């Protein structure tokens, strides 16, 4: 098996386990068992668990933001694209196995002790905010609207995880609609 395929197996296992059980509660032996990759090979790819966590968060970020953009950008009307973000969040919150935002969770677990994990969380959140900023600009709205939309989305993520419901996305969407005048 080539290195990319092995790396993918390890990252798939890490993502499933870290997201479902938390980063700190999952040891490298569990990643080994779930991926089928020998521990020696796993450590050749990721010499430290922190590097594996970084890889997991980086890869998840690309997919997460890609899925969001693909959904929201399918709407022609710029104002509807903004509301589509909250529709997408509602669908995400409703997925089986939803355990909240991986970057908020990772930061909560390791942000104070791992500068790399803190940096990953910040990069993801900055990129998400930048995406919203682009939607706001395309809709011709004042830039100040961006931060309000961002906080609505982030608050919905945290609340949905804590209460295990998609309802916060529905409420956040309604507030966003009022904010942008729809």
Residues 162-175: pLDDT tens digits? 999 999 999 999 99
How many whole angstroms separate alpha carbon 78 and alpha carbon 12? 35
Domain boundaries 1-47, CATH class: mainly alpha
CATH 1.10.3720.10 fits 57-180, yes or no: no
pLDDT of residue 98: 97
Residue 66, pLDDT above cutoff 90: yes
pLDDT of residue 172: 98
C-alpha distances in angstroms, 153 versus 35, 44, 68, 90, 148? 33, 38, 12, 10, 9
Q: Tell me the domain boundaries of the chain.
A: 1-47, 57-180
Q: Are 169 and 89 in contact (CB under 8 A)?
A: yes
Residue 1, pLDDT above cutoff 80: no
Q: Are 102 and 57 in contact (CB under 8 A)?
A: yes
pLDDT of residue 168: 98
Mean pLDDT, rounded, for 133-150? 97
User: Whose CA is closest to 14, among 82, 25, 4, 3?
Assistant: 25
- In angstroms, how far is the first alpha carbon of the chain from the final one? 53
Percent of all residues in the chain with a pLDDT value above 90, rounded to a whole number: 97
Tracing tokens 């991926």 back to the chain, one arrives at 35
Residue 51, pLDDT above cutoff 90: yes
CATH fold match for the domains 1-47 and 57-180: no
């Amino acid at each position: 098996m080539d290195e990319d395929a092995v790396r993918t197996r390890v990252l798939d296992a890490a993502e499933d386990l870290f997201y479902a059980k938390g980063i700190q509660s999952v040891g490298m032996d569990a990643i080994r068992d779930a991926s089928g990759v020998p521990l020696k090979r796993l450590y050749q790819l990721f010499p430290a668990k922190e590097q594996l966590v970084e890889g997991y968060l980086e890869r998840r970020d690309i997919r997460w933001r890609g899925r969001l953009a693909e959904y929201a950008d399918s709407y022609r009307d710029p104002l509807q694209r903004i509301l589509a973000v909250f529709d997408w969040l509602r669908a995400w919150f409703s997925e089986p196995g939803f355990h909240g935002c991986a970057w908020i969770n990772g930061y909560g677990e390791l942000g104070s002790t791992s500068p790399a994990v803190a940096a990953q969380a910040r990069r993801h959140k900055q990129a998400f905010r930048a995406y919203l900023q682009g939607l706001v600009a395309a809709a011709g709205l004042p830039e100040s609207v961006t931060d309000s939309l961002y906080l609505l989305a982030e608050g919905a993520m945290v609340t949905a995880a804590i209460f295990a419901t998609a309802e916060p996305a529905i409420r956040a969407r309604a507030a966003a609609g009022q904010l942008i005048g729809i």
